[in-house]
Structure 1
Amino acid sequence: MGPAVVWDTATGTELRRLHGQEQGCLAAAFSPEGRLVATGCGDRTVRCWDPSTGQELRRFPGHTFDVTAVAFSPDRRQLLTGSGQSEFGADQVRLWDLDGGRELRRFGERLFAVTAVGFAVRGGLAVATTMDNLLHVWDPVTGAETGRFEIGAGNLRCLAVSPDGRRLLTGSGTDYYDADLLATLGVDNRVRLVDPGDGRELARYEGHTGNVNAVAFTPDGRRAVSAGADRTIRLWELGG
């Protein structure tokens, strides 16, 4: 694992590296207006950077395991983070006040290995995926859990929120399942479109032959992109 790297997407040129992260970068996200980058680190810290200069602006300590997921709220005032601890715990998803630098809230009980976090419904919901194929949903204001939904049979490895905040993409994988689990549950390397309010599966996209490790919506929300351990990147027509 190394530092986060900022790239020029038009040319593919490396612009700068965000140095100073002990144990390397495990997750990164741009703020909605693109003026900040948040990273999750193997040293259990969350950091915010100026991507134009590479300067570290703020550091959020407190997680007790590697930080594997970060997401900005739509209004850029808050940061949601998750850690990948493989023991059940109640402090793995945290909400931070970005400007004040203080922890606002911890979410959930018995969470297992958080893989992704996000804000849905224009910030009205905080969501997280965990390796035990669960989608967790909370009210970010009160911290109350509003849903815990089983999604597919594979490890939930990634998450994306649609531009309008009303749909989620999830990616699953069973590459690390043993023979007994595969015989019982079957192979699940699928992309799914999910309603964050009730966990309902809206559509399913099949084709990957390995873990789905990353998903994203196009800016208009009508298509999706997924990247898999099968070394393919796939473009999906979502419709609607």
Structure 2
Amino acid sequence: MAMSARLSPWMILGWRIRLPAFDSVWSSPVRAIHYLVLALALAGCAGNMFSLKPAIPANVMHEGVHSGGSALAFNPAGTLLASGGWEGRVYLWSLPGGKRQAVWQAHDGSVNGLAFIEDGGVLISAGYDRRIVLWDLRGDGRASVRTESPVTSLAVAAGRGLLASGHDDGRVIVWRLQDKRRLERVGQKRLHTRRVRGLAWHPGKPALASSGRDGRVMQWTIGGGVVEFPPPSTYSRSLVYTPNGRTLIGSGWFRLFRWDLEARRLHEIPTEHNGIINSIALGSEGRHLASISRQTDSAVYFLDPSTGEVIERFQPHELCGGFVALSGDGRYLATTSDDASVRIWDLERPRGKRTR
């Protein structure tokens, strides 16, 4: 079909859009950027749906679980997976089969954090409705606290009985679990001027790393001071410490961020992700980093945490990636996404042939 000077109207997402002539688009750099942003927005997360690179299919795929998936957590024994979504529900899935064990309405807004504590007998959920709740595995609430600002992230130091919550107003709050039934607030700081996105506990000392939409990355030693690290090129969506506690790893547009904590030096590492790396999880020995991305990309990878190279590729989602989690024993990988699905890989028993 011959290409005319002016493209015919397209029907995209139910809208009739008439694109201007090619030469007029690129005659102005500003106009070109505007149309590029529009194209990326319309593309959504379909960027790697047409990849010819083989990927490992999921063992379990639950479709239409959440209105959009936003949180995941494995219990310490690796026998349960909890998932949460935009609609506020929490599901429990038994492993290895992925059968649904329980479901309940946990929050009035999105679930923005999940964690198992007390040998896996208690599940903590945090939501945009400003509530942090302790649940038994039947969905009965044991205790609840209401915070001053919506909860946007959650991190647990299970061995120390400590919990940290990040908030929409930039505040970070530290809680102590008392008598397995209630949370006591033991400290708080407004570390950011905008929403807290990433939270991670140091593996060897009572220190907490946080990242915010203001681009700042901080480390707060509980009972001590706060250290600010060099800011990355784009704000970090997720944070993890390496097992030796010497390095902090974050994620943003296309790349990983690595902070040498002793030298306070930042190194940015490119990856094959074609969008925002929205969530990362580090394997127990620190040899691979699970990652999932969004905004023109929905890829799921194992990355080398030092070089950013792809170690393994997994079946991508149909829409933007939401969250990724690894079980403590390294056997299971789980992901959730804007496509409302929850997917589970049994890495000891991969299913079938790789998909394209």
Aligned counterpart for 2:233 among listed residues 153, 156, 173 = 153
- The one-letter amino acid paired with 1:235 is F
Equivalent in the alignment of 1:80: 164
- The one-letter amino acid paired with 1:95 is V
1:4 aligns with 2:86: no
Q: More deviation in 128-137 or 164-173?
A: 164-173
Equivalent in the alignment of 2:284: 219
CA contact (8 A) 1:32 1:76 kept: no
Percent of aligned positions that are identical? 19
1:44 aligns with 2:130: yes
Shift of 1:199: 3.9
Distance 1:55 1:234, change over 3 A: same
Shift of 1:129: 0.9
Q: Give me the TM-score of the superposition, normalised by structure 2.
A: 0.55
Structure 1 runs of 4+ aligned residues shifted over 6 Å read: none
Equivalent in the alignment of 2:305: 238
Shift of 1:102: 1.8
SS at match of 2:236: strand
Give per-residue Cα distances to partners, 1:140-194, cap 9 Å, x unaligned: 123x21x112342112111123344443221113xxxxxxxxxxxxxxx212233
Question: Hey, what's the Cα distance between the residues in 1 that align with 2:268 and 2:109?
Answer: 38
CA contact (8 A) 2:238 2:279 kept: yes
Give per-residue Cα distances to partners, 1:52-78, cap 9 Å, x unaligned: 32222221222x322011111242411
Equivalent in the alignment of 1:210: 275
Distance 1:135 1:201, change over 3 A: same
Q: Which has the larger radius of gyration?
A: 2
Shift of 1:109: 4.4
CA contact (8 A) 2:92 2:100 kept: yes
Q: Where do 5+ consecutive residues of structure 1 fail to align?
A: 174-188
Q: How does 1:4-153 map to 2 (within 5 A)?
A: 4-31=90-117, 33-50=119-136, 52-62=137-147, 64-85=148-169, 92-99=171-178, 100-142=182-224, 144-145=225-226, 147-153=227-233
- The one-letter amino acid paired with 2:167 is S
- The one-letter amino acid paired with 1:190 is R
1:162 aligns with 2:246: no
Question: Hey, what's the Cα distance between the residues in 1 that align with 2:272 and 2:281?
Answer: 16
Question: Hey, what's the Cα distance between the residues in 2 that align with 1:16 and 1:114?
Answer: 30
Q: Which has the higher helix share?
A: 2
SS at match of 1:75: helix
Shift of 1:23: 1.6
Question: Hey, what's the Cα distance between the residues in 2 that align with 1:58 and 1:115?
Answer: 25
Shift of 1:13: 2.6
Greater relative contact order (Cα < 8 A, sep 6+): 2
SS at match of 2:290: strand
1:195 aligns with 2:275: no
Shift of 1:133: 2.2
Distance 1:129 1:205, change over 3 A: same
SS at match of 2:237: strand
Question: Hey, what's the Cα distance between the residues in 2 that align with 1:125 and 1:27?
Answer: 19
Question: Hey, what's the Cα distance between the residues in 2 that align with 1:32 and 1:165?
Answer: 24
